[in-house]
Amino acid sequence: MATSVQMKHVFAVCAVMLLTCAYQAMSRTLSESSVAEAFQHWKSQHGRQYVDDAEKGKRFKIFAENLEYIEKFNNGGKKSYKLGLNPFSDLTEEEFIASHTGLKLNSSLPRSSSATHLSVDDDNIPPSMDWRERGAVTDVKDQGQCGSCWAFSTVAAVEGIVQIKTKKLIPLSEQQLVDCDNDNKGCDGGFMDNAFNYIKENEGISSESDYPYQGFAGTCQSAQPAVQISGYKDVPENSEEQLLLAVAQQPVSVVVAINQNFQSYESDVFEGPCGTELNHAVTIIGYDTTDDGKKYWLIKNSWGESWGENGYMKLLRESGEPEGVCGVAMKASYPTLDLN
């Protein structure tokens, strides 16, 4: 038979347990409430609507998981970059990669024969470069749910070299590449080398105003070319030194491996982890060094201005890995333009 002292101990333990459970339940409720409030604000901010309650419930669950991941990452010690909510925060990593990338490396053109080693006096290489400041970069665009990143990377590089050579910045047509470049697969993916070759063989590419972007593949339309290129060159693989020499001369198309961290990137110098399973195409439009000495590439993406730093990313440069962070130095190329 239990003594009065033992009974008091049991009651005390039970009281502590009840208080603990109540506190946990309250914390859980507050957490769920704050997540629900964040979801409502996020939906309003991005104009998101769902077809029914089932879809809304599914997206809320994914949003909550992404928000938890972001909070844990940002609060998990000193990091070189921050994650944040953006228009893609109700998508899983797998869904996002499937709907917002589009790189396919089955190029019909041999790279080894066209890779060009650049040799420039280091004294002539500027310590930093931002082609936006030199007028060679158009506004950030949005590929939408079409696997056309390859077309946006191609066009950004062509827009850049045309402005550098002619001093005219002309927004060009990604849609023409999506519709007309038969060596690529439209919204099902492609590769920039094929697209550069199409522009050369087609004797040019139309302006964006003459052939506007639709976000889905359509029938190829005839349109007057706005600019031409002479061809393209590949940067030797796995050499950030050669990549730097190329970017010092013009914007360069590159491919990268993206993951959940890349999807939720918000600011500062991204250093992964992201691996080297290449699945997305972007454009390097410059490079620089932070005040504390961290070198980075300046990346122009095609996911709209609500992603990253107004559509751009700082990606760690000279990481010590030959292929670079996210494989940025593995498959880089740029268009050429020889004026008569």
Active-site positions? 149, 280, 301
Distance, in Å, from the CA atom of 142 to the CA atom of 151, rounded to the nearest integer, reads: 11
Give the burial class of 258: count Cβ atoms within 10 A of its Cβ; 0-12 exposed, 13-18 middle, 19 or more buried.
buried
Helix, strand, or coil (residue 99): helix
Answer positive or negative: Cα dihedral of 283, 289, 294, 295.
Answer: positive
Closest by CA to 302, choosing from 312, 292, 289, 287, is: 312
Residue 23: φ, ψ to 5°: -65, -45
Single-letter amino acid code for the residue at 228? Q
CB 192 within 8 A of CB 216: no
d(CA 187, CA 104): 11
**Residue-level length of the chain:** 340
**Angle in degrees, 0-180, between the axes of helices 4-46 and 53-74, rounded to the nearest 10:** 110
